[in-house]
Structures are given as C-alpha cells and as structure tokens.
Structure 1
C-alpha cells in the first residue's frame, strides 16, 4: 500500500507538467462561465427566474446539456491520453521501470490519477454551476433563489456521470499504453465519440461504450428512454477494458 501511495504521489506531480491539468480547470468552468455571462446580459430576468420552484434543477439541466454529450466525453478522451502519454513524451518509460515498483503499482497509480482528475473536474464543474446560479444575482441585487439546493439529487447525478465516463477512461488508457503516437488514442477516441452521438437514437446504442454520458442526460425524456441499466453496462465495460489493458501492459515486450 505504501508503494502505491508513493507511486500515486509521483504520478500526481507529473500531471502538473501536462496540459491535462489546464484541461480539467478550463473545461470545468467553460459552461458555467457561458451561463453566467448570459445571465448578466439578460439580468432583467434574474428576479423571476430566482422565484421558480425548480430553479436549481433548471440550472442543472442547462449546465449539463453541452457537458454530457460533448465536453465530458471529450475531456475524458484528452485527459486520459495526455496523462498516459507523459512517459512516451519524456522518453522515460525505461527509467520508470527501473524504479522499485511493480508493474501492477505503476498501472494502478497512473489509472488512479486519471480517475481522481475526473472527480476533480466534476467538483469544479459543480462549483461553477453554483456560482453561475448566485453570482449574477449578487451583482444586480437580486434575492437568493428561493428553492433549496437538492444536494442528494445532484450528488447522485454526479455519481452517475462519473460512472458513465469510466468506459471512456479505461479504453483510452488501454490504447494510450499501446501506442507511442498521441494522435492514435485521441483519433480512435474521437471516432468512437462521434459514433456514440450518431447512435443515441438507435435501440442498440447502449452497446457503444461512449454513449452513457449522453444517455444519462437524456434518460428522463420519453423518446430517449432506454430499456437497459446504464450503470452496470458502464461498470462492466470499465472492468473489461481495465483488465485487458493490464494484461497487455504486462505482456508488452517493449514498454516504452
């Protein structure tokens, strides 16, 4: 356990030299910033909106509209590829494998960093949603929204979105470990992501592992209702891809 903790700390420090860190911050606050700007421009509507009994639910839905289908999957694709490709970029795989760490620890530490970064992304995004809901009102003297924040509902939704992007992370991790060229995992990820958007209306679209973020957002719409459990599917794909990635990593003749 101590070896894993030290390895994770080392990998966490490495991420500071990657664009993935800025990607998390900029991506998390992009949509809330757009919404805040829109509210400021149309500040005459703030008072009536703040009296709505579904104020926070409406803000949540608007905030996730672009995030669920576009920004979150794209962020998972890019962040997973950038973090995994750090060793190829610095030509340091051989040096890493000379350290007193098992392959299992190295594999888990790198994967854990990506997962924690996705959690960080969700936390920052939720902070951005909150400020987009209250900051415009503070600027124009509008009372605080009447509706209490439904914390438990939002927490559950965050959990669903996190699980929904796990297959993306695992498959991007698998591909990034296998190929030195950064464009390969990103290119494959973008192709599958575009395909996932195209099959959201298809009855068997849930077999595409990059669709679950979009399906989670659309789950309350009758015409998009899917007769399948997205959470078990996402967890199943994540486990499958992670196990395959680990086996391939162990048996890869030239690791870096």
Structure 2
C-alpha cells in the first residue's frame, strides 16, 4: 500500500528538529531509521503532515562511556550498538537481546532509541533497558530532562516523550561482569516476540547476589519482574531453586490473547522461559 502524501524535512541539528516539531505539533512524526514508522505509513495507520528525519543529526549518533553508565545516542543503529565494545563489556544483556532483532538489514537501519520511543510491547529493546534501569534523555526547546525507564513506558505505543520533544539518548548503568541471556519465543525466525525474557544475574560463589528480569509482550508495556528478582537473591544457581523463584513470574501481568496463544498459555510459558533465561545468565 502507498502511504498518504506528506512533507519531509531532514534537519542537521537537534535544535532544528525541535523547531519543526514546535511548528507542526501533532501533524509531525519523527523518523530515525524508519523501521517502525514506514510500515505504519504504508498501512495508512497514521497520516502525518510532515515527517522529520533525524538520521542526519551527527550529534546524536555516538555511544559513549559516562563513567557509571553507557550513553547510546538516538542515531545509533542496532548494529552500531552490537559492534560496540562498550556494550559487549558493560551491557551484555542489551547486546544479547539485540542479536534477536529481526534481520541484518533492519539492524543496520533501525535504532535502539527509535524502538524505545515506538514502545511496541513485543519489541526486543524495552525489556532489557527496563531491567537494566536505563534512563531516557529527552530534549525539548527548554532543555533536557531525564526519565527513568520505569516511568517512560506509559501505555501501548505511548511514552513520556511529548509531541514537541525528542528522545536524544538512553543512558544505561554499567552491569560489568553480570551474566546475561535473552530467551525469545517465536514461531518463525525474525518474528516479533510472542514472549521474551531478559535476564541479567550477578553470581558470587554459586549464589545469586543480584538479578534483573524484564518481560517482553506480557502486557501493554515492557514489564519488570521485581518479585522474581527479589526471590532469586540468595538462591543457589541450581535448576530447582531458580524454578521455584521464577514460577510466579506471570502474576500481575496482562498478556494478550491472540492467534499465537491465550493469556494463560503465555503466563505458563513465561515461567518456563524465565527459568531458562536465569539459569543461562547464571552460567548454570
């Protein structure tokens, strides 16, 4: 299907992009890699008056070490992140999850921040960033503000970014030395996750000292399984102990019911996949 007609602008700076958003209001849509927006336009699910392409803004393309965190700019593609030694060393969970994103073509075009602000609950980025307690850097004409990942995802395809603002970066605290695993359940390769479990675990002497668990497609937004995290702390990294801590991961979630499975089925599978993800992350 052919998208409806729209104007197009490719600003060279964040300030220029923000001026365009302020001028056009809810008639404007931001595009970075275009891997989320373009399919929406082709299906005519949205008809913006103007598309503001931020892919040429050099100042938001970097991946940098800020000391206690890694900052990923809004222009950094999935592949940029996968190729970064900083990510593989300090954010193994994000690196592992991004290897499950679609195919090579999409990974070279799509961006991490674009996926975050698109906020598809079946996407592979939100759960690991939420589990790792990322901070979203949002810029408007009055300056920058920072929003914790726990407050960023508001509802289905809705985030804390205002229509006159840009998500310019995500900053994720370092989890150096943590084991990590992303368990993604799909029927065919490159599919959106039916369920995904993002697990990061720090083990000391065979015992789980800290754990982070994020859930993909178990509700209208990415979710964090804090009860499971708390139950894992102090447990030996054995199958029996981990299975007990992960058994109730579905409680308090609201997964969809569709052709891929009913909600109760998803909750059951989530328990199995969480056990597998945590054990893999713990090296057990």
Common fold: TM-score over 0.5? no
Question: Larger C-alpha radius of gyration, 1 or 2?
Answer: 1
Q: TM-score, normalization: structure 1?
A: 0.23
Between Structure 1 and Structure 2, the one with more helix by share is 1
